[in-house]
Structure 1
Amino acid sequence: MGSLRRGITAAAGLLLLASAVPAGAAQHDGDRGLYAVRGTDKADRTAIARSGVDVWGVRGDTLTFAADSAQAQALRGQGFELEKVGDVDALLAERNPDVRTAVDEFPPGDEGYHTYTELTEVLEQAVADHADIASLSSVGDSYEGRALHLIKISDNVAQDEDEPEVLFTCNQHAREHLTTEMCLRIVERFTDEYGSDPTVTELVNTREIYVIPTVNPDGAEYDIEGGRYKGWRKNRQGSGTDLNRNWGYQWGCCGGSSGSPSSETYRGPSAFSAPETAAVKAFVDSRVVGGVQQIKAHLDFHSYSELVLWPYGYTYDDSNETMSPEEAERFREVGEALAASNGYTPQQSSDLYITDGSINDWMWAEHGILSLTFEMYPSGGGGLDGFYPPDERIEPETERNDEAVEILLTEAGNQG
C-alpha cells in the first residue's frame, strides 16, 4: 500500500481513536512486541507515534517500535503493515543475567558503562586533576534528590569571561546510557588533552564549555537496578515524565506528546513540571547576562538511529515567526556539516515525526541558541541493542563525534 494511502487511512483511524482514549495512552496488556513498519514517510511515522507506541528507532523509511497487542491491532486496522520482529520481554531476558547483582551496577559484561556513583567519581577526579581549567557544580537536584552534575571547562574557569558558551546535555531518556558516556568523553578529552592537543587547547582558551552528563539520573539508575536492564525511558516522578516532551515551548501543542501518564511520551501535567527540566531551564535562563544569552550553541545526545536533528519538531514548516528562512538555512548548513563529520543523517526534527515540548525547540525559540540533537549509534536496526550496545562500542562511538563537537564549538563563535 502506498505511503499516501497509509497516511490518509492512519489520519482517519487516529480521529476515531482520539474519541475513545487520550492521545498516546499506553494500553499495555503485558505482551509487548517489537514491530517494524517499512516504507514510511514523516506523516506515517507521526501517525504511528501518536498512537501511543514506544518508538525505538528509524532507519531510512523503516520505523521500529514497541507496542502491545491492542496497539498493534489498532495500527493494522488503520492500514499499516506491521512486521513483528521480536518480543520485548524476551529481548530483555536475553540481555539480562539469571542472577541479580548490586543495585548500582550494570549487567555483567557491560561494566564499561558508568553508574551514577562512578560518574560522580570520574567528574570529581577530572576536577582534581585539572583544577585550573575545570570546576564541578550542579544545576539542581533530580526528583529523587541526585545532583544534576554540571562541569565547566575553560582556561580561566573561576571567571565568567566574555567568551561564547556551549552546553552539552546527555541522558534525558534513562535507557540511553551511551549518551552519558558521550558527555564523559567530552569532559575527559577537553581536560586531559588540554595543553597537548592544539585544537582542544584553542577551544578551551576561547570558549566556556558546560557539560551535564545526565539529566535523568533517577531513571538511569532505575533502568539498571539489580544489574538488569528494564527498558525504562522516563524520569521517576510518579509514573514518569518524558523529559524531552516537558519543555515549555509549544508544550503539548501538536500531538507530538501524550497527556496520558502511562504513555512513554507523557509530557507531564504542565511545562517544566519535572524538576530535572526545571533545573536545566533555570541554568540556561541564568546565562542571560546584560540582556544577552551567553550560551550560543547546544547539543543534546540521544540514541539511537545515527541522526543529526534540528528545530523545529512541533511543525513540518522549516521557518516561521520565530525562525527566519536564513536562520533555518543556517541550522541546515550546520547540521549537514556535523553529519558529514560522523556519518549520521541530517534532517529537521519533524522530518522524523512530530514532537512537541522538546529541548531543541525551547532552546531556540526562547533563547536563540543554536540547538541540535544527535541520535547516536546504531543506525536504527539495533532492536534492544540500540539502547544497550555492548560496552566495546563506547570508545569508537564516542570518539566518532570528536570532530562534530569541535565544529559546534567553533560555530558558537559565529553566533551573534
Structure 2
Amino acid sequence: MLSRLPRRVATALAGGVLTAGVLTAGAAAVPVAERPAATGPALVRVHAPASADRAQLAGLGLDLTPRAGAGFVDALVHGPDDLARLRAAGLRWTVLESDLGERQRRYRELDQRLAAQTAVSPLPSGRIAYRTLGDYERELRELAARYPELVRLVRLDHQTLEGRWVYGVEIAHGVQMPDGRPVFLLMGLHHAREWPSGEHAMEFAYDLVRHAYTDPRIARLLREGRALIVPVVNPDGFEKSRAAGALEWKRKNCRQWDGVVEHPVAECATYADNGLTSRGVDVNRNYGGFWGGRGSSDQWWAQDYRGQAPFSEPETRNVRDLVASRQVTVLISNHTYGNLVLRSPGVAGGNAPEESLYQALGDRMATQNGYTSQAAYQLYPTNGTVEDWAYYATGALGYTFEINPKDFHPDFGSAVIDEYLGHGVYAGKGNREAYLVAFETAVDPGYHGVVTGFAPVGAVLRAVKEFTMRTDDPGGSASGPIAFRQRLESAMTVTVPRFTWHLNPSLRPSQEPGVGLLPESWTLSCTRPDGTVLETQQVTVARGQRVEVRFDRCLARFAVR
C-alpha cells in the first residue's frame, strides 16, 4: 500500500541527504519535527542517460512528468514507496523541490496579483482565472444558445463513473447540417491536474466564434470545415483536482474498482491513498491501439495504470465513438507540461508509415509556439494513447501538446495567457496560431481523401469501415496482443445534386512495422432518410486523392415508393 499522507514525502526527504542523487542517512539533516508539514508531492530529477534507462523508469509506475532533457526525466514523488522503487531499480535522482504545495501557493499569489491588476485579460474570453467544471459546462451551453447557426452543443455518449455527462461544442458556419466537411478535434483534460489543457481548448472555441464573421481566415475555415472542441475529457478527475485540496495532483479518472459500472461520488475522495489518490485509470493509456505492454502499467496503484481492458473507461469510449462517427482528419490532445508537440508512435520500434508528412505538420505547429516537435517515444515509452489509436484506426494525424515549461497548473498568466497568445519571440503566435495551422491542415484535401459525385438531393450517404486492430502484448495471463473489432461510420446529407465528401483515406496505417498502408476500402451507401438502402459501393481513396462516384441506381430509385 502506498503511503497515505503527503507529509511522509517530506519525512523521507528530510531524514537523509542526497549523495550522488541517492538518499542516504545524514546527521546534518534538519529534524523532521522542526520542518513544516509538506502539502504536496516532491519533484525529483531522475538521471536516465540512455533509452534503456527511460524504458526502465517508465516501467516503475511512477508519476513521470513530460519534462525531460538530455539524460533526465522529472518525476513526482508521493511517498517513500516511490523512492524505494527508484532505489531498487538502481536509478539516481536529485531533489528539485521537496514540497510542490509551497510552489502552488506561490502560483496562486501570482493569480491574485493578476486579478488585482486587471478585470479582463487579452484572451478571447477575457478570463483571468482557471475555470471550474461548472464554468466549462455553463459556457459551452451559453455559446450554443447564443450562436445557434454557428455552435452546436455536443453531449458525448457515455456517462462517467460518477454519472456526469461530457460536453463539447461543434463550430462551423451552418453547423446544424451534416454536410460532409472535415473535422478538426481539440481536446483537453484527459489528465485531471492539467488545468491549462482545458483552458486552451475553451479559448480556441471563443476565438473561432468571436472571429467567425470578421476574420477572413477563420471565416474560411468554418465554411470549409468543422471544429469540434471537448475541453474536459475527464470531468470526474478534474472536479477533484480543481478543488485544490488533497487531490490537487490527481492524474487519473475516478475508477476505484475494476469492473464496477458506477461509483458513488464520495468514493473518489474516500480512497485517497497518498494525497493524490493512487486509484483510478490513466485514460490516456486506455485507448485500444497498442494498449498494454511497456509504456503503461497493469498495477492499479501506478500513475500510468492502463485499466482492466482496452476502452474499459467511459472517457475513452466517449472519444472513440466521437471520432468513429465523424471524419476527424487532424486532432490535438492538450496536456501539460514540457513545451512539446508529440506525435505517434509512443513506443520505439519503427516510425509511423507516413512519418515525413506526420513530422512536417508537427514541425510547422512547433514553429508557432516554440515547442519541440518529436515522436512520443523520444520522451519515454507510452502506449494506449489517443493519437496512437486515432492514427492507426482512422488515419487522422493526432498530436499531444505539452503546454508550458513549468508545471501541471502554474499561474494562469504564464500557462494560459502567454502560452495561448504567444510571448517573447512568439508573441502573436503561440498555441492559437498552432491550432489554426492544425485546422487549416484538417480542411486541406491534400491531407485526406475526397469523394465527389451525383446523388439525389435529400439522400443520406453513409461511409462504413469495420476491421480488426490489436493491442500491444499486455503480458500476464494474456497470450500475446488482444484483437478487437473497430467500426467507423459517418453520414452526410446531400444538399446539392453534385456532392463533395471529405473522408479520411481508406488506406489504413498498419500496426505492423514496415508494412505501410493497408489496401482497405470504404463501404459507401446511398439511402433514403428513413434508412432504406438504395445502393452500395466500395470506394478506395488515398490521402490527397479525389475519387468520382455516381449513385445511378439511387438516383433512379430515390423518388420511387
Q: What TM-score bracket applies, with the shorter chain setting the length?
A: 0.7 to 0.9
- Given the alignment, which residue of 365, 371, 377 partners 1:344? 371
CA contact (8 A) 2:66 2:379 kept: no
Deviations 1:228-287 (A, max 9, x none): 6620000012121100000001110x2111111111111110111111111111121222
Which of 211, 214, 219 is 1:201 aligned to?
219
Q: Which residue of 2 aligns with 1:281?
A: 320
* Structure 1 partner of 2:309: 270
Q: Pick the structure with more helix per residue.
A: 1
Q: Answer whether contact 1:29 1:69 (CA < 8 A) is retained.
A: no
Asked if the contact 1:42/1:352 (under 8 Å) is kept, the reply is: no
* Deviation sequence 1:24-79 (CA, Å, 0-9, x none): xx844753432102463433222112112100232422311023334334434544
Pairwise CA distance, 1:128: 2.5
> 2: CA distance between counterparts of 1:107 and 1:313?
39
- The aligned counterpart of 2:333 is 300
Query: Quick one: which amino acid aligns to residue 305 of structure 2?
Result: Y
Q: What CA distance in whole angstroms lies between the structure 2 residues aligned with 1:258 and 1:28?
A: 19
Q: Given the alignment, which residue of 297, 301, 311 partners 1:258?
A: 297
The match for 1:56 is: 65
- Corresponding residue SS for 1:147: coil
Unaligned runs of 5+ in 2: 10-41, 116-127, 257-278, 422-429, 449-561
Which moved further from structure 2: 78-87 or 346-355? 78-87
SS at match of 1:396: helix
* Alignment partner of 1:359 is 2:386: yes
Q: 1 CA distance for matches of 2:141 and 2:51?
A: 43
Shift of 1:93: 5.1
State whether residues 66 and 402 of structure 2, in contact with CA within 8 Å, keep that contact through their aligned partners in structure 1: no
Aligned residue among 410, 417, 422 for 1:395: 417
Q: 2: CA distance between counterparts of 1:365 and 1:351? A: 19
AA at the equivalent of 2:319: V
**Percent of pairs identical after alignment?**
28
Cα offset, 1:367, TM superposition: 1.1
Relative contact order, higher structure (CA 8 A, sep 6+): 1
Q: Superposed, which structure 2 residues align to 1:60-139 within 5 Å?
A: 60-61=69-70, 62-67=72-77, 68-87=79-98, 90-92=99-101, 95=104, 112-139=129-156
Question: Whose Rg is larger?
Answer: 2
Q: Which sits farther off after the overlay, 195-204 or 78-87? A: 78-87
Match of 1:415 in 2: 447
Equivalent residue for 1:377, pick from 397, 404, 415: 404
Look up the SS of the partner of 1:401 in the other structure.
Answer: helix
Deviation >4 Å, runs of 4+ = 26-30, 106-111, 226-229
Tell me which amino acid in the other structure corresponds to 1:160.
Answer: P
TM-score (ref. length: structure 1): 0.82
Unmatched runs of 5 consecutive residues or more in structure 1: 1-25, 98-105, 288-293
Deviation at 1:222, TM superposition (A): 0.6
Query: Mean alpha-carbon deviation: is it higher for 299-308 or for 273-282?
Result: 273-282
Q: Secondary structure at the match of 2:310?
A: coil
User: CA offset at residue 227 of structure 1?
Assistant: 5.7
**Distance in structure 1 (CA, Å) of the matches to 2:381 and 2:337:** 17
- State whether structure 2 residue 346 is matched by structure 1 residue 318: no
Counterpart residue type for residue 395 of structure 1:
I
RMSD (Å), alpha carbons = 2.2
Secondary structure of residue in 2 paired with 1:283: helix
| Helix, strand or coil at the partner of 1:145 | coil
Q: Which secondary structure does the structure 1 equivalent of 2:155 belong to? A: strand
Q: Distance in 2 between matches of 1:260 and 1:217?
A: 23
- C-alpha contact 1:137 1:151 (8 A) present in aligned 2: yes
- Taking the aligned partners of 2:369 and 2:222, their CA distance within structure 1 comes to 22
Q: Would you say the 8 A contact 2:369–2:434 is kept in 1?
A: yes
Query: Cα deviations across residues 343-398 of structure 1 (Å, max 9, x unaligned)?
Result: 000100011111111111000111111111111102xxx3xxx0121122222212
Name the residue aligned to 1:248: 288
What SS does the aligned partner of 2:156 have?
A: strand
Letter paired with 2:295: G
Change (3 A) 1:161 1:144: same
Give the Cα–Cα distance (whole angstroms) in 1 for the partners of residues 244 and 337 of structure 2: 24
**Cα gap change, 1:198 to 1:229, in 2 (>3 Å):** farther
| Contact 2:236-2:253 within 8 A present in 1 as well | yes
Q: Are the equivalent residues in 2 in contact too, given 1:181–1:398 (CA < 8 A)?
A: no
Contact 1:301 1:375 in 2 (8 A): yes
- Cα deviation for residue 186 of structure 1 reads 1.1
Distance in 2 (CA, whole Å) between partners of 1:94 and 1:129 is 40
Aligned to 2:56: 47
Change beyond 3 A, Cα 1:367–1:28: farther
Question: 1 CA distance for matches of 2:391 and 2:253?
Answer: 24
Task: Report if the CA contact (8 A) 1:96-1:229 is conserved.
Answer: no
Instruction: Looking at secondary structure, tell me which structure has more strand per residue.
Output: 2
Cα separation, 2, equivalents of 1:274 and 1:343? 34
